[in-house]
């Protein structure tokens, strides 16, 4: 078997503002290779999607960034990076569920790349790609996974591995498992294997079921069906018409 590249270069930080910011800075200095992993035990200014803050329990959860350097990925196809990252996190959570004897059915991926257990968010992913011309030069995948946190704000409907499985998890083992799964999905991405898109679609939260959405800020009810190569959600409306929308226009209505 080929050696695992993801995690070969490993940077461990006791505390940092944001592992994504740190990775971008180190990338600009050409200090990171493909597969570099930056793990922080605490983030003081963790970043989330749509400019939000990402909070995590210092020393309890996983906050890490992974650097990927595709060989020949077109910008138009870059959504596959978000898909593979979500699939890798999904697999780690699903494995923890299996080991605890729990049903993995409720572990799903909510577009664009949250991992949920039913309606409870267990992981968020923030991706930043560096583009040169028409190609993706590098990608920073920032992953926040709630591992041992039990002090989550009830109103944001968050959960952790510990809350779900009822036991503490070794964060180092979780990170190892995550690197393994990222490597496995990365090999498929590099091989342009359609299984990445298919597996993602199969795990899509609310797939085929009517969901409350906001389109340009207005309530809209539609059925998420799939996510295209550009990362747009394909939604079927009440009349059976399917349209593709990006995150700049469409989002799930807050619960």
Q: Which positions lie near ligand BTN, rule CB under 6 A?
A: 18-20, 43, 46-49, 52, 54, 63-65, 114, 124-126, 142-144
Contact 186, 121 (CB under 8 A): no
Cα–Cα distance between 104 and 96 in angstroms, integer? 9
Q: Which of 10, 5, 31 is nearest to 172 (CA)?
A: 10
* Closest distance of CB 50 from ligand BTN, Å: 7
For ligand BTN, the closer CB: 43 or 74: 43
Shortest-Cβ-distance residue relative to ligand BTN: 124
In angstroms, what is the C-alpha Rg of the chain? 18
Strand order in the sheet with 242-245: 242-245, 233-236, 218-227, 211-215, 250-252
CB of 89 to ligand BTN, least distance (A): 11
Closer to ligand BTN at the Cβ: 54 or 220? 54
Instruction: Specify the residue, 18 or 78, whose C-beta has the smaller distance to ligand BTN.
Output: 18
Whether the CB-CB separation of 233 and 111 falls below 8 Å is answered with: yes
Q: In sequence order, which ranges of 69-202 are alpha helices (DSSP H)?
A: 79-99, 161-165, 171-190, 195-202
Output 182 or 237, the one with its CB closest to ligand BTN.
182
Min CB(66)–ligand BTN separation in Å: 10
- 130 vs 237, beta carbon nearer ligand BTN: 130
- 24 or 133: CB nearest ligand BTN: 24
Burial of 231 (0-12, 13-18, 19+ CB in 10 A): buried
Distance CA 40, CA 114 (A): 20
Token pair listed for 163: 């809350």
Give the shortest CB-144-to-ligand BTN separation in angstroms: 3
What is the nearest approach in angstroms of ligand BTN to the Cβ of residue 23? Answer: 8
Query: Least Å distance between CB 192 and ligand BTN?
Result: 27
């Amino acid at each position: 078997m080929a050696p695992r590249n993801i995690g070969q270069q490993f940077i461990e930080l006791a505390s940092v503002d944001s592992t994504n910011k740190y990775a971008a800075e180190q990338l600009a200095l050409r200090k990171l290779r493909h597969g570099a992993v930056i793990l922080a035990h605490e983030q003081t200014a963790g970043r989330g999607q749509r400019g939000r803050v990402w909070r995590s329990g210092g020393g309890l959860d996983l906050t890490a960034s992974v650097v990927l350097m595709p060989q020949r990925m077109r910008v138009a196809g870059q959504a596959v990076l978000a898909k593979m990252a979500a699939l890798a996190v999904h697999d780690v959570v699903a494995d923890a569920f299996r080991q605890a004897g729990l049903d993995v059915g409720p572990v799903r991926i909510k577009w664009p790349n949250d991992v949920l257990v039913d309606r409870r968010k267990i992981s968020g992913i923030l991706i930043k790609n560096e583009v040169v011309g028409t190609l993706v030069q590098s990608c920073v995948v920032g992953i926040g996974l709630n591992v041992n946190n039990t002090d989550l704000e009830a109103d944001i409907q968050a959960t952790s591995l510990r809350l779900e499985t009822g036991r503490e998890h070794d964060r180092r083992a979780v990170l190892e498992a995550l690197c393994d799964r990222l490597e496995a999905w990365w090999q498929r991405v590099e091989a342009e294997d359609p299984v990445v898109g298919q597996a993602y679609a199969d795990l899509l939260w609310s797939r085929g079921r009517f969901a409350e959405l906001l389109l340009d800020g207005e309530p809209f009810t539609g059925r998420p069906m799939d996510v295209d190569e550009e990362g747009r959600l394909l939604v079927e409306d009440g009349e059976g018409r399917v349209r593709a929308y990006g995150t700049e226009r469409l989002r799930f209505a807050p619960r």
